[in-house]
Chains A and B, each alone.
Chain A
Amino acid sequence: MSYAIQSINSSGFTQIDENSEVFQVIQTGTKAANVSYVTLPNTLPTDCLVFARPAGGRTSGLVQLTGYISDFTISGTRTLRAYMKYNLACDYAVVQRCSEFTAPTSGYGINVYKSNGDLGFTSEQPMLRVIAARAVSFSNSTGAFDSGWYQGTAGSIDTAYVMLGPYIQYKYEQYASFGENFYRYTFRNAYFDYNNHKMGTIASTFSGDLQRGSNVFTRTNTGQKTEIIGYIV
């Protein structure tokens, strides 16, 4: 190690080193219920991440949450939105790479710089603390659903956020059945099991008729993704 500092936590995970930069919180807020999305500043970088949870968290119950980021430009104007479950009020936090912050020059704490001079960590900005993460792989045949991929202890997920992205509409199908044609969307939902202090994934679908003779096909967002739950501090 030639630069900065390296900090390893009590479980052996590296927290800070000279080669990487942490995600730190740039913005937090709440999407109201019965609203599809919140509009984010279009100055945010394209690679920012959005974390969300049921507003205020829970201590019990079961909650499903989907959401994704929409980033599009119309007539030269960029629009950045964070979609979350329509009928659920959600807290959200936008995190971005530390290097995209302006390094603070006042206040307390420390700034840690990478070997290339970029800011890798600053104690001035809130942190995303990862509770657990797992890699998943979608395919046409599986959405990698799991009723409890993270098992925590009492209260461990009560205030936890999940990263939007893996909880998306991952499949669209047009199919025929008994001479009729139909369509079907399949969503992946983060599944907060506050009762059992665990986090899982669950599918939800909705479908409808299509004109007879419509094309039959399946389109899927497939491949690898990572599910993360964590705190915002």
Chain B
Amino acid sequence: MAILQTKYVDVGVYTIYGTVLTGFISTGTVSNTQNGSSDVNLDSVFSGADITSFYHSSTSGQGLSFSLSGNRANGTFDTLKIGGVSFARTSATHSYNSSNNRTTWTWSSVSSSPFGTTVGADKQVTWETAGSTVTAPVISGVSNNNAAAASVTATISLSSSGSGGTLQYAQTTSNSAPSSGWSAAPAFSHPRGTTRYYWARRDTNTVTSSVSHSVGYLTGDTGFSRSSPTIAHNAPSATTTIQYATAGETLAIRLNGQSTNLVTAVVASSTQSQNITFSGSLPSAGSSSTYRFFVRRPTSTGGDGSTFVDTGLTFTVTRNAADTTPNAFSFTDKTGNASTEQNSYAQITGINAAATVSRTSGGATFAVASTSTTPSSSNFGTSNTTITNNQYLHVKQTTSSTYNATLSTVMNVGGVTDTWVVTTNPAPSDGTPENYSFTDVTTALSTVAYAATQITGISQTITVSRTSGAAVFAISNSGTTTPTSSAFTSSNKTLTNNQYIWLRQTSSSSNSTTLTSQFSAGGVSASWNLTTVAASGSSGTGFGLRLFPPTGTIARLDTTDRTARVLAVFTGTLAAGGSSSTFTQPGYSSSDITIAVEWQTSGDPQYVSLSSSGTSLTVTRANDPSSFSNNYQVRIFRV
């Protein structure tokens, strides 16, 4: 005998027209446990059947009746046992009432109520079969199909399917064996993120132990491409481009190692690229930062729809350093008429940040504009300003009022400079110099004197000529260095602007004598007067030094004396056969008659010559037949 199902009847008593009904009829309760809550399900006996009434009538001939919902076959159980009293199914009348869709078994001969008459008493009722013993199945495990969905299909696997009864399965959310919900199919829908308990049985008395099974969420896509952008030094945001992420998932970008989402974006396509832009936590200029992708999978595809999971995928953002050093730039130098405004400009390139514009030197004003068109004058100034890439730096200056004059301005942009030169056109061709003059000289007798004057105001080569007098002249670029002696001649010479005319003449050997020479340069004439000093009075007056020897009778040195003063003495040897020797005496001039030279040979005197060139003197021995060398002495002195 096997018990198909066990119930408890909390006995109720109902009396109507003298008939006493006891059991479960309008009153009383059927439950699975003693004094339990109502549960009329009798699935273990008749699947889907509920007990609609179960009572004993005191009226003779009505006996014990038991009704179920639905049309139930007269089988399945063999014995109904109430409070230990058995009633054979076969002793009962089986009927089905289609009007109320109920099936009833009636034991009409039972005169005494098996439920008793005590209201509230619990009577155990079992439905039993006469077959063999039912053995419980054994669950070996629960598996699921891991579908990309909110729920998966969990399937119960048995290591032993048991015997007898009816094999049924159930799923519960708590670890309590269900009284209902049993199913012949072992597969159940299992929501992700939950734990469910799974059961199996053959009958109500052979329910297995539960097996818990949990199904987690799927994580998002962790394999997609992304770019590492380089951004401008002042960019407000950065954009990385992703591709091949999974559509519908949400990506978040965080600074690597941090937990704050800088931006989230839903992936629109699993194949197309997509830009994701963010603006927070960007690197500073000249540095880089690493960012990490997190992904959130929606519940519809198995994710939890709320948690961002680390993808392990990173990318970097590099921010360029600010570059304020432009490429070399150049202004076009300008030439124009005197006192005219000149303009130029240069485009500044090669910077990514505003560079400082300043004027290092010079007098040009400047302006910054977006085009090469010269800005209005009011925009020009001299104060430092800034310029950005591809803008134009304009400069402006008025040419000098002086011919050929240049005005240079050095402009500095971010440390790079260029010099802009504005030149005034040369004067119209001018062969007439400004008036000039020579400084007249008063000097000692027979003394070589010089004068020099600079010629200006011409723009072409002119001719200088001596028109009268005896002074010789030379042309030089210097007004301080006396030209060489050979440069002084009386011949016409050419001269350019700012060169000097040098004059030279030996003063008269007489006192108070003026030698006048006149010169013409480009048609402009000037005279030079070289005058000797006036004669002094008698000895002992005027200038000079007067010294007396011990005798006192005659001046050893008088105020009118000219002394012979040694400048240098050169001695040497001249070999036979035309040898020579050259030496230099600073200040020597063959035409300076105040410089005296005396030479002689000794030893074996031979014929020699003394020549000079500038301050160099050369003693040369004639190519005579003598085989002996001889000495020479050259004395140079001033008288």
Q: Shortest Cβ distance from A3 into chain B, in angstroms?
A: 15
**Stretch of B289-297, B471-479, B609-617 that contacts chain A:** B609-617
- Chain A 84-133 interface residues, beta-carbon cutoff 8 Å to B: 95, 97-99, 107-110, 121, 123-124, 126-133
B564 at the binding interface (Cβ < 8 Å): yes
Chain A residues lying within 8 Å of B612, measured Cβ to Cβ, are 224
Q: Is the CB of B564 within 8 A of A12?
A: no
A130-141 CB contact bits vs B (8 Å, 1 = yes)? 111111010000
- Complex Cα spacing A121 to B547, Å: 11
A23 to B548, Cβ gap below 8 A? no
Which chain B residues lie closer than 8 Å to A70 at the CB level? 602, 605
Report whether B559 and A10 are in contact in the complex, using a CB–CB cutoff of 8 Å. yes
**A10-B544, A129-B563, A223-B611 known; A68-B600 Cβ under 8 A:** yes
Prevailing SS type, chain A contact patch:
strand
- Whether A228 sits at the interface, judged by CB under 8 Å, is yes
Q: Residues of B contacting A49 with CB < 8 Å?
A: 598, 635
Could you tell me the distance in whole angstroms from the C-beta of A134 to the nearest C-beta in chain B? Answer: 6
Interface membership of chain A positions 163-189, coded 1 if the CB is closer than 8 angstroms to chain B and 0 otherwise: 101100000100000000000000000
| Contact stretch, chosen from A30-38, A55-63, A214-222 | A214-222
Q: Determine the chain B residues whose CB is within 8 A of the CB of A135 once the complex forms.
A: 590-593, 595-597
Instruction: Write the chain B residue with the least CB distance to A112.
Output: B545
- A128 and B563: CB pair below 8 A? yes
Known: A7-B545, A10-B542, A15-B544. Is A172-B607 also a contact (CB below 8 A)?
A: yes
Q: Which residues in A have their C-beta under 8 angstroms from that of B556?
A: 109, 123, 126-127, 233
Is the Cβ of B604 less than 8 Å from the Cβ of A225? Answer: no
Q: Which residues of B contact A172 (CB under 8 A)?
A: 607
Q: Mark B153-165, 1 if CB is under 8 A from A, else 0.
A: 0000000000000
**Complex: chain B residue closest to A221, CB-CB:** B607
CB-contacts of B437-472 with A (<8 A): 443-445, 447
Instruction: List, in ascending order, chain A residues with CB within 8 A of B563's CB.
Output: 13, 15-16, 22-23, 121, 127-130
> Which A residues lie within 8 Å of B443 (CB)?
12
How near does chain B come to A133, taking the closest CB pair, in angstroms?
Answer: 4
A123 with B597: CB separation less than 8 A: no
> Nearest Cβ distance between residue A8 and chain B, in whole angstroms?
6
Which residue of chain B has the shortest Cβ distance to A131 in the bound complex? Answer: B562
Q: Determine which of B537, B557, B566, B603 lies in contact with A20 in the assembled complex, contact meaning CB atoms within 8 Å.
A: B566
Q: Which of B447, B594, B637 has the most CB of A within 10 A?
A: B637
A121: which B residues are within 8 A, CB to CB? 557, 563
Report A-chain residues with C-beta under 8 Å of the C-beta of B535.
10-11
Interface digits, B542-554 against A, CB 8 Å rule (1 contact, 0 not)? 1111011110001
Chain B interface residue count, CB cutoff 8 Å, equals: 65
A75 to B273 CA separation, bound complex (whole angstroms): 120
Residue from A10, A99, A109, A110 within 8 A of B543 (CB atoms)? A10
A226 engages B571 (CB within 8 Å): no
Asked whether A108 and B564 contact (CB < 8 A) given A172-B607, A226-B598, the answer is no
Tell me how many residue pairs across A and B have CB atoms closer than 8 Å: 197
The interface residues of chain B, by DSSP majority, are classed as loop
Q: In the bound complex, how far is the Cα of B600 from the Cα of A165, in angstroms?
A: 7
Considering only residues 11-46 of chain A, those with a C-beta below 8 Å from chain B are 11-17, 20-23, 46
A129 and B562 contacting across the interface, CB-CB below 8 Å: yes
- Judge if A190 is at the interface, Cβ distance under 8 Å: no
CA distance A22 to B611 in the complex (A): 25
Which chain B residue shows the least CB distance to A222? B609
Tell whether, in the assembled complex, residue A11 and residue B598 are in contact, meaning their CB atoms are under 8 Å apart. Answer: no
| Contact between chains at B547 and A109 (CB < 8 Å) | yes
Chain B residues with CB under 8 Å of A127's CB are: 556-557, 561, 563
Closest Cβ of chain B to A79, distance in Å, is 10
Distance between A6 CB and nearest chain B CB, rounded to angstroms: 9
Centre residue among B565, B594, B605, B635 by max chain A CB count within 10 A:
B565
B622: interface (CB < 8 Å): yes
- The distance in angstroms between the C-alpha atoms of A222 and B604, with both chains bound, is 17
Please tell me if A142 contacts chain B, counting CB pairs below 8 Å. Answer: no
Do residues B565 and A22 form an inter-chain contact, with CB atoms below 8 A?
yes
For window 485-526 of B, CB contacts with A under 8 Å fall at 509, 511
| A contact residues around B639 at 8 Å (CB) | 13, 130, 133, 226, 228
Interface residues of A in 186-233 (CB under 8 A from B): 219-226, 228, 230, 233
26 cross-chain CB contacts under 8 A: A8-B543, A12-B447, A12-B532, A13-B444, A13-B563, A13-B594, A15-B561, A20-B565, A20-B566, A23-B564, A46-B571, A69-B600, A97-B566, A109-B548, A124-B550, A127-B557, A130-B564, A131-B562, A132-B509, A133-B639, A134-B593, A219-B607, A219-B622, A221-B607, A225-B599, A226-B596
Residues of B at the A interface (CB closer than 8 Å) are: 443-445, 447, 509, 511, 532-533, 535-537, 541-545, 547-550, 554-567, 569, 571, 590-600, 602-605, 607-612, 622, 624, 631, 633, 635, 637-639
Ranked nearest first, the 5 interchain pairs of A and B with the lowest CB-CB distance are A12-B444, A10-B536, A223-B610, A226-B596, A20-B565
Besides A12-B533, A124-B550, 7 other CB < 8 A contacts?
A11-B532, A49-B635, A69-B602, A109-B547, A109-B556, A225-B597, A233-B556
